[in-house]
Amino acid sequence: MSRYLTLSALAVLFLFPLVWSGYASLEEPSNYLEMARFGEGIDTYAVNSVLVSAMTVGGTLIVSALGGYGFARFDFPGKNVLFLATLAILMVPYATILIPLYVLLGYLGLQNSLVGLSLVFVMFQLPFALFMMRNAFEAVPRELEEAALVDGCGTFRAFSRILLHAVRPALITVGLFAFLASWNDFFAPLILLNDGSSFTLPVAVVSMTQHTFGAIDYGMLQAGVMVMALPCLILFIVLQRHYVRGFMSGALRG
Amino acid sequence: MTLTVTRSRRAAHSAPSARWRSRKVQGWLYAAPTAVIVGVLFIAPLVLVVWMSLNRWPLLGPATFNAPANYVKIADNPLFVDAVLFTLKYTAITTVLLSGVALGLALLVQERRPGIAFFRTAFFLPGAVGFAAAGLLFYGMLNNDFGPIDPMLQSLGITSEPIKWIGTPNMALFSTITLVLWRFAGFNMLILLTGLQAIPTEVYEAARSDGANRWQIFTRITLPLLRPTLALMLILSVTGSLLAFDQFFVFTNGGPDNSTVSMVMVVYRDAFFRFDLGGAAALSVVLLVALVGLNTLMMRRLR
């Protein structure tokens, strides 16, 4: 029983900030309207965030599913080198290659672009995603695709029509990780986006505090926190089984 | 790409050697997007950061080779030297506290009992909130006029006046660490839970039947068998803390008086406030080499 008392007290401590933020934002519902008018309008930033997350999730799923299938089922020269190079992304600290990425995206004409930012996110997701997808495809019985191949469809038809369904749990896990990472990230968009109209939610709402002259409207700020946090909280609660499974597979980024 | 794959597949039926070659080509085609992303967005910036560090590289305008000036400059950058010391201190405190709290939580929710799933979720939930959102949340919660914490402490008689949560160097560090614990304790708890669940229950039963008490079981069985998982958690925590940026940028903004400027914050300021990308690249290379070295060392010692 005392264990449940301790646990309850701790749960209150952990949940209190979230509950308070929701409460503070709703104390005056006009907070949300005021925040909606901030800067270019909250809708601009929300749309940017949704676009970046959608492109990151889509890009990560496509690249890692194709790659995972290739690595699981085919032998080709350079396979091991490429796999190790991808895993090496985990070894190199994120923050240390953002400055050259900023310059590089400039060469590619992708500076200050949501597409460029999404590609960078796909790259950071790739070690975990590729590892997950390769393992998922390896766990699919070979008979399943051999039957399809005998029926005369090419490997790509077998892959897209049959195997992708078989690895759906892994796709959901990879997609969830990609969404949380891209929706929440602050540092990469801070560096790679420099025009107010292309900001994502975290950068826009943080700039609300740092470029306000005079008093900060704290209620409005908490409305911003809620707009950023709620999609993640809901998605996590719905899909937590997949999140925990992703953890168990051992590959993760802190 | 669909077309190429199906066509080469059809050709594969004709001869075994052609089929083998086509399998190779197909493998490459599936891996090609991965190769492009890794090559262009990972390998190329790695090479570029080294090249940039050897040049005077302004934000605008042409670069000029000036090695090793950017590296020599690092020693004369007092803000960076202070930032290194501050970041090390922050990393040490955070890692110790985070490991302790996460281990405590993991032991509390380790066994499957009714309702335990709720507590696991409750402890993890802050981890789903982004650092920018979490920083702004704490910024409001600890504000002296708006936040609920000061009135609560005062009505409980713990303090008599509002506390300067981010107004003094020590309190700013304390408040930031509290924020980080709130956000990451559940995340680390999950890592440790996977390790705890990998320990076979027979080992515990055998120890119990030999008359071992709870403390003995914890120190002689749980801790040693948890070592690889603890190592993973330590590496993640140390690396994450040494690269801390968001929490300080959003929550304390490096203040008061630059007392909470982390190493990555100096990189950022060099690049985008002093417009010195070459200097920022040199700092990045130093951090990169130091962290890869440290990680290798930790993995070797802890595994």
Residue B6 has pLDDT above 80, yes or no: no
Residue B204 lies in a domain: yes
A187: which chain B residues are within 8 Å (Cβ-Cβ)? 245-246, 264
Residue B33 lies in a domain: no
Residues 216-275 (B) with a CB less than 8 A from some CB of A: 236-237, 239-240, 242-243, 245-246, 249-250, 253, 264, 267-268, 271-272
* Element (DSSP H or E) covering residue B56: strand B55-56
Within chain B, where are the H helices? 2-11, 16-38, 44-53, 69-75, 78-108, 116-124, 131-141, 149-155, 169-197, 201-209, 214-217, 223-225, 227-242, 246-247, 263-272, 277-302
Q: What are phi and psi of B55, to 5 degrees?
A: -125, 155
Residue B153 has pLDDT above 90, yes or no: yes
Residues 90-109 (A) with a CB less than 8 A from some CB of B: 91-97, 99-104, 108
Top-level class of domain A31-245:
mainly alpha
Asked if A254 and B239 come within 8 Å (Cβ–Cβ), the reply is yes
The structural domain count of chain B equals 1
Domain extent, residue B266, equals 76-302
Distance CA A34, CA A145 (A): 55
Q: What is the pLDDT of residue A164?
A: 93
**B223 contacts B178 by C-beta, under 8 angstroms:** no
Categorize the per-residue pLDDT at B10 as very low, low, confident or very high, splitting at 50, 70 and 90.
Answer: very low
Distance CA B212, CA B207 (A): 6
Residue B176 lies in a domain: yes
**B267 contacts B280 by C-beta, under 8 angstroms:** yes
For the question of whether the overall pTM of this predicted structure is more than 0.90, the answer is: yes
Asked if B240 and A254 come within 8 Å (Cβ–Cβ), the reply is yes
Q: What is the pLDDT of residue A33?
A: 83
**A190 contacts A101 by C-beta, under 8 angstroms:** no
Cis preceding linkage at B68, omega within 30: yes
**Residue B112 sits in a domain of what CATH number?**
1.10.3720.10
Q: What is the pLDDT of residue A151?
A: 74
Residue B121 lies in a domain: yes
Asked if B46 and A237 come within 8 Å (Cβ–Cβ), the reply is no
Best residue in B30, B138, B249 to probe A by mutation, most A CBs within 10 Å? B30
What does the buried/exposed string (b/e) look like for B256-287 if buried means 16 or more CB atoms within 10 Å of the residue's CB? Answer: eebebbbbbbbbbbbbbeeebbbbbbbbbbbb
> What is the per-residue pLDDT across B239-290, written as a single tens digit (0 to 9) for each?
999 999 999 999 998 889 899 999 999 999 999 999 999 999 999 999 999 9
Q: What is the pLDDT of residue A47?
A: 95
Asked if B28 and A76 come within 8 Å (Cβ–Cβ), the reply is yes
Angle at A10 between CA A9 and CA A16, to 5 degrees: 90
A236 → chain B, closest CA residue:
B128
> What is the per-residue pLDDT across B52-83, written as a single tens digit (0 to 9) for each?
999 999 988 899 999 899 999 998 888 999 99
Three-state DSSP at B55 gives strand
Q: What was the ipTM of the complex prediction?
A: 0.93
Q: What is the pLDDT of residue A254?
A: 36
Asked if A254 and B148 come within 8 Å (Cβ–Cβ), the reply is no
- Number of residues that this document lists for chain B: 303
Categorize the per-residue pLDDT at B127 as very low, low, confident or very high, splitting at 50, 70 and 90.
Answer: very high
A5: which chain B residues are within 8 Å (Cβ-Cβ)? none
Per the structure block, which two tokens stand in for B109?
């929710």
**Under-70 pLDDT residues of chain A:** 211-214, 250-254
Distance of CA A21 to the CA centre of its chain: 23
- B128 Cβ contact list (under 8 Å, min separation 6): A180, A229, A232, A233, A235, A236
Neighbours of B121 (CB within 10 A): 18
A100: which chain B residues are within 8 Å (Cβ-Cβ)? 44-46, 48-49, 52, 281, 284
Residue B8 lies in a domain: no
Domain extents in chain A: 31-245
What would the DSSP string read from start to end of B59-112?
A: SSS--EE-TTHHHHHHHT-HHHHHHHHHHHHHHHHHHHHHHHHHHHHHHHT-S-
Residue B154 has pLDDT above 80, yes or no: yes
Q: What is the pLDDT of residue B2?
A: 43
Residues 148-167 (B) with a CB less than 8 A from some CB of A: 148
Neighbours of B28 (CB within 10 A): 17
> What is the per-residue pLDDT across A129-159, written as a single tens digit (0 to 9) for each?
999 999 999 999 988 888 878 777 788 888 8
Q: How far is A137 from chain B (nearest CA, A)?
A: 13
Distance CA A74, CA B23 (A): 7
- A167 Cβ contact list (under 8 Å, min separation 6): A65, A68, A133, A136, A137, A140
Please tell me if residue B191 touches chain A, with a CB cutoff of 8 Å.
yes
Per the structure block, which two tokens stand in for B174?
């304390």
Q: What is the pLDDT of residue B18?
A: 66
Asked if B34 and A237 come within 8 Å (Cβ–Cβ), the reply is no
Q: What is the pLDDT of residue B16?
A: 55
Q: What is the pLDDT of residue B201?
A: 87
Q: What is the pLDDT of residue A212?
A: 65
Token pair 């713990």 is found at B158
B241: closest CA among B130, B110, B120, B99? Answer: B99
Asked if A96 and B119 come within 8 Å (Cβ–Cβ), the reply is no
- Burial classification of residue A234, based on how many CB atoms lie within 10 Å of its CB (0-12 exposed, 13-18 middle, 19 or more buried): exposed
- Number of residues that this document lists for chain A: 254
